[in-house]
Amino acid sequence: MAKYKTEFKTKVVKEYLEGKISYRELAKKYSIQDSSAVRTWVNAYESQGYDGLKVKRKNNNYSLDFKLNVVDLYLTGEMSYQSLANELKINNPSIIARWVTEFREEGIEGLKAKKRGRPSNMPSTDKNKNLKNKNSKVKEDLSELEKLRKENYYLQME
């Protein structure tokens, strides 16, 4: 469950936009741990409206091309993470920061989708592997049988 409801965020943002109170004072007034949360809400509201404050219930999977374009825009342009996020309708600018860091450390490989979850401890029991082994054994047996037949034929001829 989200820590703060969308209606609460909207109330705080509108109070800030009225211009009477600062981020820090709002955070203190409403017992919000960090004033940067209020700043993020205001920025999201200004760029995306009410939808920017909604909690997204699904994870967005961004394509490799999209990530490369965003990283390229950041590295070549003079835009901040926040302004890029606002322009591209990405709710969290730290995602772009992570993409840039991964790109700098690992190159394009860092932006590719990674396998998620805990690795399996079970030994791999590939049923196809067993079939392949059986098929190769049968082929070996047939070739051995063929060799023995040829040898037998030559011995009979002698």
The residue extents of the domains of the chain are 1-55, 60-115, 126-158
Task: Determine if the pTM surpasses 0.75.
Answer: no
Does residue 116 carry a pLDDT above 70? Answer: yes
When mean pLDDT is compared across 26-40, 91-105, 124-138, the lowest value belongs to 124-138
Does residue 1 carry a pLDDT above 60? Answer: no
* Integer CA distances (angstroms), 109 to 102, 104, 113, in order: 8, 10, 9
In the prediction, which pLDDT does 100 show?
A: 92
Q: CA Rg, the chain, in Å? A: 31
DSSP 129-141: HHHHHHHHHHHHH
